[in-house]
Structures are given as structure tokens and as C-alpha cells.
A and B are shown apart, each in its own frame.
Chain A
Amino acid sequence: AQSVTQLGSHVSVSEGALVLLRCNYSSSVPPYLFWYVQYPNQGLQLLLKYTSAATLVKGINGFEAEFKKSETSFHLTKPSAHMSDAAEYFCAVSKMDSSYKLIFGSGTRLLVRP
């Protein structure tokens, strides 16, 4: 069965510091992986996705993620946090059956300190 685990329900960084949000997946087949961001009172917006092309995926707003099969990880990073990055971040894997639903992690809330 496919699943996603996000380590840390809350992550706090200083403005300008590195952002690292962790995501580990479980899948018996090559996965399609996604990172979504949810700003307060808004829907989910796609940051980036991995579809088996390049292992290092660049997304919007300066975020990127690296697919590491040996570690079953897809961690999200950004070199320098901005106050506007404060939001909740969700990692998801696409279920490879007829539903093609997204299986989400429980989310990580990023706090950015001035």
C-alpha cells in the first residue's frame, strides 16, 4: 500500500535560513510525488512534482525537492526562507489504481521568524 509520512507537524526557521521539510513515502511501484502548499484560508497550490524524469525537481517560489529512491524520500528545501513562505505544506503520492487519488501526508506547518 502506498503511504506518505511527513516528519514534524511544525517547523520553525528564521527569515533567511534554510528550509527543510521532510517527506518519506512507501510505494511498491515507482511513485509520482507532489508537494502542495496551503496558505491560510486558501486551497492547495502545487509547488512541484516528481514524475520520474529528473530526480532534482525545481518548483515555484524557489523551492526544490530531490527524489532519493534508496532513502524513499522526497524532502522539500529552499535555501533562504521568506516571511511569505509561512504556510502548511503537504507531501502526496499518487495512488496507482483506477482512482488516481492523491494520498497525503499529515502536513507540516512552516513558521518563519523575523
Chain B
Amino acid sequence: EAQVTQNPRYLITVTGKKLTVTCSQNMNHEYMSWYRQDPGLGLRQIYYSMNVEVTDKGDVPEGYKVSRKEKRNFPLILESPSPNQTSLYFCASSLWVSTSGSNTQYFGPGTRLTVL
């Protein structure tokens, strides 16, 4: 089954304790992205990657890191989490076709993070 998986689905942690949220897709997609969802704000992009070893900042990158060492995986790293990073996080992937924004992005099930 074609899918985007995220782990963990739920995480409660404390301020300053480094954590990683994993994202994996089995559709051979070049493009991957992380979003956070906050009430009343919709989803906002954190980071994106157009292919292996190619990543760039989205709208809200502060406090986050990413890496893309393999095509299928795109982990999100919080080196020193703070309470304002409490949110619902989604990973997404799509085929990459240059000059086109019409590609459908497929979303993972989400990771609900609480930072105390």
C-alpha cells in the first residue's frame, strides 16, 4: 500500500530534550515536506526537500532541523524543544516535476507533540 508513515504518533517530552520524528514514504517520491498544524492557522511548512541531500527552509524553520540522506526518509529533528513547538506535525511527499505546482502531496497520519 502506498503510504507515508510517521513515528511516533504521540509524544510528550520536556523542554530541552532532543527528539526526532521519523517520516518514511514508499512511493519513490522526490519531494518531501514537513508542516505543523496549529488551531486557526491551518498548516505551515517547516522544511522541504526536493531530493536526496537537497533541503530548504519553509515558513517556520526556527528550532527545527532536517536531513535527507535517503530518498524514502525525511526525519524532523528538534534539538532543544520548547513549549511553543507543541503542535501537530505532518510529513508529506509528492512526485517532483519541475515548473509545476500541480503535484498532489500525500500526507502522513500526523505526530502530536507536547513539550512541557
Residue pair B107, A100 in contact (C-beta under 8 Å)? no
Residue pair A104, B42 in contact (C-beta under 8 Å)? yes
Overall SS of chain A's interface: loop
Q: Is A42 an interface residue (CB 8 A)?
A: yes
Residue pair B42, A43 in contact (C-beta under 8 Å)? no
Q: Which of B40, B43, B59 has the most CB of A within 10 A?
A: B43
Residue pair B110, A99 in contact (C-beta under 8 Å)? no
B84 — which chain A residues lie within 8 A by C-beta? none
Stretch in B14-22, B70-78, B97-105 touching the partner: B97-105
Residue pair B102, A102 in contact (C-beta under 8 Å)? no
A-B contact count (CB 8 A): 63
Q: Is B67 an interface residue (CB 8 A)?
A: no
Q: Is A7 an interface residue (CB 8 A)?
A: no
Residue pair B45, A99 in contact (C-beta under 8 Å)? yes
Residue pair A94, B90 in contact (C-beta under 8 Å)? no
Contact pick for A43, options B56, B58, B109, CB 8 Å: B109
Q: Which of B35, B45, B58, B106 has the most CB of A within 10 A?
A: B45
Q: Which residue of A lies closest to B105 (CB)?
A: A102
Given contacts A49-B102, A102-B43, 17 further A-B contacts (CB under 8 A): A4-B42, A32-B102, A43-B90, A43-B107, A44-B90, A44-B92, A90-B43, A94-B101, A95-B101, A96-B101, A99-B58, A100-B101, A101-B45, A102-B35, A102-B45, A102-B92, A102-B105
Question: Interface residues, chain A, CB within 8 Å of chain B?
Answer: 4, 9, 32, 34, 36, 41-46, 49, 51, 90, 92, 94-96, 98-102, 104-107
